[in-house]
Amino acid sequence: MSIETETKPFDELDYLKSEEDITAYMSEALATNEPALIAYALGVVARARGMSRVARDTGLSRETLHRALSADGNPELATVLRIVAALGLRLTAESVSKAA
């Protein structure tokens, strides 16, 4: 006898319900220093905010936005900064200690 379990694909968007959730999610993505992961996380947050609205606020087409934030995307820093601003976020710097 086998038991069938119904599953659905994991989507981070399901867990981004508040501004605090979005801030924590982006902070964790930025902490990885992985450009592809950061771009992906920006894409998830853009979907949470509404991709059409983010495209309008950045002056980019939806297609350009999707391409820039795809797994293969490599957006320019200027594009990232426009997206971050449109999402109502700010990139910040903090000092990290390096082990000698």
Tens-place pLDDT, residues 58-98: 999 999 999 999 878 889 999 999 999 999 999 988 888 87
- Answer whether residue 31 shows pLDDT above 80: yes
List the chain domain ranges: 19-86
What's 70's DSSP letter?
S
- State residue 100's pLDDT score: 59
Per-residue burial over 56-95, b if 16 or more Cβ lie within 10 Å, else e, is ebbebeeeebbebbeeebebeeebbebbbebbebeeeeee
Q: What is the mean pLDDT of residues 35-45?
A: 93
The model's confidence at residue 99, banded by pLDDT at 50, 70 and 90, is low
